[in-house]
Amino acid sequence: MKKQTAKSLRAFAIELAAYSVLVIVYFFLVLHLLGDWLYHLEAHHRYTYAGVALLLIAGQAVVLDTVTTLLFRVLRGRRK
């Protein structure tokens, strides 16, 4: 049981490290590129901004959830 917990923790630590790298790349690429466009939308087209905001947060949720699940599966699979 203890071995299993240690294995899970190790896999989680590796997952966290890989995820951190992805998130940093994401910050610099996606948010930097989207920033000005979203600022403009928020100032001039509120309804479009509201729709885009919802799509962005929902899309990010699905994509990041898939990425973390895949990462976890790959790491687990390698350990087995």
Partner 1 sequence: MFFPISNTDINPIYLVVVGFIIGILGGFFGVGGSFIAGPALRLMGVDWNYAVGTDLAHIVGKSIVAARQHRSLGNVDLKLGLIMALGTIGGAEVGAQFIQALKRAGNVNTVVSFVAIVVYFSISVFMLWESHKTLRSAKGRSPQRLSGVKEDHSAFGPITQKIQRVKIWPMISLPTSGIREISLWTILLVAFIGGIFSGFLGGGAGYIRMPSMVYVLGIPTHLAVGTDLFEIVISASYGTFTHAIKGNVDILIALVMHTGAVIGAQIGVVATQYFAGPKIRLAFVPLPLIGAAIVIYTLITGHKF
Q: Are 19 and 71 in contact (CB under 8 A)?
A: yes
Coil vs helix vs strand at 45: coil
By CB under 8 A, is residue 54 in contact with partner 1?
Answer: yes
User: Interface with partner 1 includes 74 (CB under 8 A)?
Assistant: no
- Closest contact distance (angstroms) between CB of 59 and partner 1 is 9
Draw the binding track, 21-50, toward partner 1 (x: CB under 8 A; -: no contact): --x--xx---x--xxx-xx--x---xx-xx
10 binds partner 1 (CB under 8 A): no
Handedness of CA 55, 56, 60, 61 (dihedral sign): negative
Report how far apart, in Å, the C-alpha atoms of 47 and of each of 51, 66, 76 are: 6, 29, 44
Q: How many Å from the N-terminal Cα to the C-terminal Cα in the chain?
A: 16
Q: Which residues contribute to the site for partner 1 (CB under 8 A)?
A: 12, 15-16, 19, 23, 26-27, 31, 34-36, 38-39, 42, 46-47, 49-54, 56-58, 60-62, 64-65, 68, 72
